[in-house]
Structure 1
Amino acid sequence: MITAALVFGPSKLTITSKMGAVYGYSLLWLVAVAIFFMAVFTAMSTRIGAATNQTLLASVRLKWGNPASVAMGIGVFLVATSFQAGNSVGVGIAAGELFHMSPVPWIIFFNLLAIAMLFYRRFYPLLEKTMIFLIVVMLFCFIITFFYARPDVGQMARGLVTPSVPDGSTGLIIAFTASCFSIVGALYQSYLIQERIRSNPELKNTKNDSHTGIILLGIMCFIVIVCAAAILNPKGIPVNSATDMARALEPIFGSNASAFFLIGLFGAAFSSVIGNASVGGTLLGDALGVGNNFSSATVRYLVALVMVIGAAVAIRFGKLPLELIVFAQSVTIFVVPFIGTAMYMVANDRKIMGDKVNSLFVKVAAGLGLVIIFALAVISSKELFFNNPLFK
Structure 2
Amino acid sequence: MITAALVFGPSKLTITSKIGAVYGYSLLWVVIIAIVFMAVFTAMSTRIGVATNQSLLASVKQKWGKPASVAMGLGVFLVTTSFQAGNSVGVGIAVGELYHTSPVPWIIFFNAVGISLLFFRSFYSVLERTMIVLIFVMLFSFITTFFWASPDPVKIVKGFTTPAIPEGSQGLIIAFVASCFSIVGALYQSYLIQERIRMNPALRQAKNDSTTGIIILGVMCAIVIICAAAILNPKGIAVNSATDMAKALEPIFGENASTLFLIGLFGAGFSSLIGNASVGGTLLGDALGLGSNFSSKSVRYLVALVMVIGALVAVRFGKLPLELIVFAQSVTIFVVPFIGTAIYMVGNDKQIMGDKVNSPLVKIVAGIGLLVIFGLAIINSKELFFNNPLFK
- What range is the shorter-chain TM-score in? over 0.9
* 1:104-158 CA distance string (max 9 Å, x none): 1111111111101012111111111110111111111111221232222222222
Displacement of 1:223 in angstroms is 0.2
Q: Distance in 1 between matches of 2:331 and 2:179?
A: 10
SS of residue paired to 1:3: helix
SS of residue paired to 1:44: helix
| 2:57 counterpart of 1:90 | no
Alignment of 1:16-35 (within 5 A): 16-35=16-35
Q: 1:18 to 1:31 in 2, by over 3 A?
A: same
Q: 1:390 to 1:239 in 2, by over 3 A?
A: farther
Task: Say if 1:175 and 1:330, in contact at 8 Å, map to a contact too.
Answer: no
Q: Tell me the residue number matched to 2:133.
A: 133
Alignment of 1:186-205 (within 5 A): 186-205=186-205
Q: Distance in 2 between matches of 1:296 and 1:336?
A: 26
Task: Say if 2:85 and 2:319, in contact at 8 Å, map to a contact too.
Answer: no
Displacement of 1:241 in angstroms is 3.9
| 2:128 partner amino acid | E
Task: Say if 1:22 and 1:238, in contact at 8 Å, map to a contact too.
Answer: yes
SS of residue paired to 1:206: coil
Q: Distance in 1 between matches of 2:43 and 2:249?
A: 34
Displacement of 1:21 in angstroms is 0.5
Q: Distance in 2 between matches of 1:159 and 1:8?
A: 21
Q: 1:175 to 1:389 in 2, by over 3 A?
A: farther
SS of residue paired to 2:361: helix
Q: Tell me the residue number matched to 1:153.
A: 153
Q: Tell me the residue number matched to 1:65.
A: 65
Q: Distance in 2 between matches of 1:80 and 1:26?
A: 31
Q: Tell me the residue number matched to 2:302.
A: 302
Q: Tell me the residue number matched to 1:356.
A: 356
Alignment of 1:146-295 (within 5 A): 146-247=146-247, 249-250=249-250, 254-295=254-295
Task: Say if 2:286 and 2:292, in contact at 8 Å, map to a contact too.
Answer: yes
| 2:383 counterpart of 1:383 | yes
| 1:173 partner amino acid | I
Task: Say if 1:46 and 1:190, in contact at 8 Å, map to a contact too.
Answer: yes
| 2:37 partner amino acid | F
Q: Tell me the residue number matched to 1:365.
A: 365
TM-score of the aligned structures, taking structure 2 as reference length: 0.95
TM-score of the aligned structures, taking structure 1 as reference length: 0.95
Alignment of 1:313-332 (within 5 A): 313-320=313-320, 332=332
Q: 1:82 to 1:322 in 2, by over 3 A?
A: closer
- Which consecutive residues of structure 2, in runs of 5 or more, have no partner in the other structure? none
* Higher deviation after alignment, 142-151 or 197-206: 142-151
Q: Tell me the residue number matched to 2:46.
A: 46
| 2:86 counterpart of 1:80 | no
SS of residue paired to 1:335: helix
Q: 1:35 to 1:390 in 2, by over 3 A?
A: farther
Q: 1:332 to 1:133 in 2, by over 3 A?
A: same
Task: Say if 1:4 and 1:217, in contact at 8 Å, map to a contact too.
Answer: yes
Q: Distance in 1 between matches of 2:111 and 2:319?
A: 17
Q: Distance in 1 between matches of 2:118 and 2:292?
A: 15
- Which consecutive residues of structure 1, in runs of 5 or more, have no partner in the other structure? none
Identity %: 79
Q: Distance in 2 between matches of 1:184 and 1:166?
A: 29
Q: Distance in 2 between matches of 1:154 and 1:380?
A: 34
Q: Distance in 2 between matches of 1:386 and 1:19?
A: 25
Displacement of 1:27 in angstroms is 1.1
Task: Say if 1:15 and 1:326, in contact at 8 Å, map to a contact too.
Answer: no
Equivalences, count: 392
Q: Distance in 2 between matches of 1:41 and 1:220?
A: 19
SS of residue paired to 1:234: helix
